[in-house]
Amino acid sequence: MTLQNFLNDIIKISASDMNRYQSILGKAGYSLDEILEYDDGRSYQTWSTPNGFQIVLDVSCKPNESSELIISEIIDCWLELRAIRNILEPTDDFNFLSIVKKPLPYEQFKQSIQDIENDIENDKAMFQLMFKGEIDTALLTYYTLDEDIKQGILQ
């Protein structure tokens, strides 16, 4: 079944007068049956009585009202973009995002050699007791390194 409305049943009103017409129709015994709102800004309200008499309100937006809608949408988009920018913008609090350069395996190996040489200098008596003769610090350091660093040096 299709509903047909004739032109004499359609009342064109502005959005600012809508509350006044709704209160008048409610006091006259009409009830709101349907609200149709389209993306282009058109809006229709169907009111009816228990007898079956229908009135359709064609709520039209004035150019000022539609431009206000566009302006409010632009402001909303601007606020959302500003919030996204604030999240993505680097600040002093995000020092953890900086790239930390990991030392190369060969650099780690050289540093370990220097550490062992310093240990030998500080406690010569113990190292002479443990190792008889010359101590090859490079070989001693190589055996104390992790497997990953050893593989990096051999590559």
Residue 52 to residue 122: CA distance in whole angstroms: 106
* Position 94 pLDDT exceeds 50: yes
Q: Give the model's confidence band at 97: pLDDT under 50 very low, under 70 low, under 90 confident, else very high.
A: low
Phi, psi of 32 (to 5 degrees): -80, 120
Q: How far apart are the first and last CA of the chain?
A: 82
Please indicate, yes or no, whether the overall pTM of this predicted structure exceeds 0.75.
no
Residue 119 to residue 109: CA distance in whole angstroms: 15
Complete domains list, the chain, with CATH: 7-64 (3.10.180.10), 105-154 (no CATH)
Do the Cβ atoms of 32 and 47 come closer than 8 Å?
A: yes
Please give the pLDDT value at position 37: 86
Report how far Cα 151 is from the mean position of its chain's Cα atoms. 42
Please give the pLDDT value at position 155: 79
Please give the pLDDT value at position 80: 92
pLDDT average, residue stretch 141-152? 86
CA separation, residue 128 to residues 116, 117, 118 (Å): 14, 13, 14
